[in-house]
Amino acid sequence: MKILVTGGAGFIGSAVIRHIITNTTDEVLNVDKLTYAGNLESLNPVSSSSRYQFEQVDICSRAEIERVFTAFQPDVVMHLAAESHVDRSITGPSEFIQTNIVGTYNLLDVARLYWSSLEGKKKASFKFHHISTDEVYGDLPHPDDVEPGSELPLFTEKTSYAPSSPYSASKASSDHLVKAWHRTYGLPVIITNCSNNYGPYHFPEKLIPLVILNALEGKPLPIYGKGDQIRDWLYVEDHARALHTVVTQGQVGETYNIGGHNEKRNIEVVETICKILDELVPSDKKYSEQITYVDDRPGHDRRYAIDSSKMQQELGWVPQESFESGLKKTVQWYLDNAQWCENVQSGNYQRERLGVIAGE
Ligand code: NAD
């Protein structure tokens, strides 16, 4: 199968491509603009495969996307390219509107014309898989805000959209466009909405890698508000496997929620990382002494939690990694891959791709 992956140099996209090239015989074309979040070093384990190609392309460029579809003739599209950092969306929403909404529109419309031109089996099996977030659903009641013992709801595929941040609003918009291209034009689409991912190759602006690297460097470990926000964490390799399962076995027109059943308060996440580091890299002080509380993010969602029973029942997918085992693997990965972290923190990962010698 020929898979066109957008955003394959990002955190989840690179995990998807490593998974596909390592575990299947599929061929991948990765199109990525290489924003600050795109790092080709995350593809080093598979970049020499003859089944992998990369092109630096902005999904907002219609001409470029048309050229890519014509040249590669994909069997399926897995669309992950996006601006993905909530804090950045609050300080500068414009790129989020462009890439997440206009870029998705562009891809959908080129995919529609391409799919219309196909014939036979290739047309019948074509799928446009849009990768989205559980943040489109807004937030859920928090255990601290309800009567003790009350049942706490989960996000299901039928939960209404109520995005809170410019990021989640832009992803919600893109989901609606995808649904409209299915309903209006018949484009064979599938949507997945996933909870927070963590794991290797995660850009260190996100909570888990930020805390690991700051802890090791003796810097403050910033916690928004009281740190009581609840997120449902999924190991990125479990997500990558889920996405390949969906694109190969999922039903066209359907939405699948993907989550890890790991509801954790942010403070618990940070304390667990500190405990793992206390064991793996002992120092005179406990790492938790570096925890620092900072002003909460405006509009910060209180709780996310995913019901992924449809994925389990219909497609037989279950996460393999528990939160504790996944977090240990993640911390160990950051300890073993100091060069990847150093290249990201120094900006060398961006200079290298522009042909500038690292360290100059
Ligand atoms: P990321 O920020 O790590 O990677 C995004 C990638 O998209 C980068 O490689 C970037 O260069 C590329 N990109 C950005 N703008 C582009 C453009 N205009 N044209 C082409 N490429 C462009 O993001 P991620 O964490 O890997 O997330 C991937 C997808 O999964 C996103 O759509 C995100 O909304 C969704 N998602 C993420 C999470 C999570 O926890 N990280 C959870 C659920 C869903």
The model's pLDDT over 62-118, given as tens digits with 9 standing for 90+, comes to: 999 999 999 999 999 999 999 999 999 999 999 999 999 999 999 999 999 999 999
- Whether 82 is in the pocket of ligand 1, judged by its Cβ within 6 Å, is yes
Q: What percent of the chain has pLDDT over 90?
A: 92
Mean pLDDT of 229-238: 97
- Whether 259 is in the pocket of ligand 1, judged by its Cβ within 6 Å, is no
Q: How far apart are CA 18 and CA 231, in angstroms?
A: 26
Can you read off the two tokens belonging to residue 82? Answer: 């996006």
Q: How far apart are CA 101 and CA 80, in angstroms?
A: 12
- Whether 7 is in the pocket of ligand 1, judged by its Cβ within 6 Å, is yes
Q: At what angle do helices 207-216 and 323-336 cross, to 10 degrees?
A: 50
The domain ranges of the chain are: 2-202+233-262+304-322
Q: Is 265 helix (H, G, I), strand (E, B) or coil?
A: strand
Binned at pLDDT 50, 70 and 90, residue 205 comes out as: confident
Which residue in the block uniquely carries the two structure tokens 């999904």? 59
- Whether 43 is in the pocket of ligand 1, judged by its Cβ within 6 Å, is no
- Whether 11 is in the pocket of ligand 1, judged by its Cβ within 6 Å, is yes
Mean pLDDT of 268-295: 96
User: For 34, left (φ over 0), alpha (ψ -120 to 50), or beta?
Assistant: left
If one residue of 80, 100, 247 were mutated to test the ligand 1 pocket, choosing by the most ligand atoms within 8 A of its CB, it would be: 80
- Whether 81 is in the pocket of ligand 1, judged by its Cβ within 6 Å, is yes
Answer whether residue 26 shows pLDDT above 80.
Answer: yes
Task: Quote the pLDDT of residue 348.
Answer: 85
Answer whether residue 359 shows pLDDT above 50.
Answer: no
- Whether 181 is in the pocket of ligand 1, judged by its Cβ within 6 Å, is no
Architecture category of domain 2-202+233-262+304-322 in CATH: 3-Layer(aba) Sandwich (3.40)
Stated as kind and residue range, the H or E segment containing 198 is: strand 196-198
Q: How far apart are CA 324 and CA 286, in angstroms?
A: 19
Task: Quote the pLDDT of residue 353.
Answer: 58
Q: How far apart are CA 78 and CA 121, in angstroms?
A: 19
Q: How far is the CA of 342 from the centre of ligand 1 (A)?
A: 21
Please say whether the beta carbons of 154 and 140 come within 8 A: yes
Task: Quote the pLDDT of residue 358.
Answer: 29
Task: Quote the pLDDT of residue 355.
Answer: 47
Q: Which residues pair with 133 in a beta bridge?
A: 194
Q: How far is the CA of 12 from the centre of ligand 1 (A)?
A: 7
Q: How far is the CA of 143 from the centre of ligand 1 (A)?
A: 30
Q: Which atom of ligand 1 is nearest to the CA of 194?
A: 43
Q: What percent of the chain has pLDDT over 70?
A: 97
Letter string b/e over residues 40-53, b meaning 16 or more CB atoms within 10 A of that residue's CB:
bbbbeebbeeebbe
Q: How far is the CA of 81 from the centre of ligand 1 (A)?
A: 5
| Single-letter residue type at 164 | S
Mean pLDDT of 214-234: 95
Interacting residues of 91 by C-beta distance below 8 A, sequence separation 6+: none
Q: How far apart are CA 27 and CA 314, in angstroms?
A: 26
Binned at pLDDT 50, 70 and 90, residue 360 comes out as: very low
User: Ligand 1, atom 29: nearest CA belongs to which residue?
Assistant: 80
Q: Which atom of ligand 1 is nearest to the CA of 84?
A: 2
Q: How far apart are CA 288 and CA 273, in angstroms?
A: 9
Interacting residues of 203 by C-beta distance below 8 A, sequence separation 6+: 11, 36, 37, 39, 209, 344
Please say whether the beta carbons of 102 and 159 come within 8 A: no
Answer whether residue 45 shows pLDDT above 80.
Answer: yes
| Of 27, 36, 10, 12, nearest in space to 72 by CA | 27
Supply the pTM of this predicted model: 0.95
Q: Which residues are catalytic?
A: 134-135, 167
| Single-letter residue type at 64 | E
Task: Quote the pLDDT of residue 350.
Answer: 82
Q: How far is the CA of 257 from the centre of ligand 1 (A)?
A: 17
Q: Which residues pair with 192 in a beta bridge?
A: 131, 256
Q: How far apart are CA 263 and CA 229, in angstroms?
A: 10
The stretches of 156-265 forming alpha helices (DSSP H) are 166-185, 207-216, 236-249
The model's pLDDT over 304-358, given as tens digits with 9 standing for 90+, comes to: 999 999 999 999 999 999 999 999 999 999 999 999 999 998 888 887 555 443 2
Higher model confidence: residue 145 or residue 5?
Answer: 5
